[in-house]
Amino acid sequence: MPLTVKDLMERMPGALIQEKAEGVDAVIQFHLGEEGGDWICTIKDQTCTVEPGVNEEPNLSLTAEAADYIDMITGKLNPMTAIATKKVILKGDLNLAMKYMNLFAL
């Protein structure tokens, strides 16, 4: 069975590396197309919660097609290449975006 966005989102709370999340207080909004849907990831007090939905004022918004996001998370697509080719569009706190890739052991 192929990996889905839902699978990745459900793994995120348990995959948070608590030491790296120290001091992070953020809401990340994911817009992952028709296949992936919209997800809200909240990181606070070294914990992570993820739920389907839309937050109107996230610290960071990431927009991509589901397949491109999955490829980026699984290492098939380099994050910098994804951003440069606009396969992934980031809005908001770009420092948080750089931290995000190291906060989870997915």
Q: Is residue 75 part of a domain?
A: yes
Residue 64 CB contacts under 8 Å (≥ 6 apart), including other chains:
31, 32, 33, 36, 72, 82, 87, 88, 89
**17 found inside a domain:** yes
Output the furthest CA–CA distance in the chain (Å, rounded). Answer: 37
Q: Does a structural domain hold residue 73?
A: yes
Residues contacting 73, CB < 8 A, separation 6+: 8, 106
- The whole-model pTM stands at 0.94
- Identify the CATH number of the domain in which residue 44 sits: 3.30.1050.10
Q: How many domains does the chain have?
A: 1
Asked whether residue 52 is domain-assigned, the answer is yes
Residue 106 domain-assigned?
Answer: no
Per-residue confidence at 2, pLDDT binned at 50, 70, 90? confident
55 falls within a domain: yes
Is 34 among the domain residues? yes
Domain containing residue 83: 5-99
How much is the pLDDT for 105? 87
H or E element in which residue 48 lies = strand 47-52
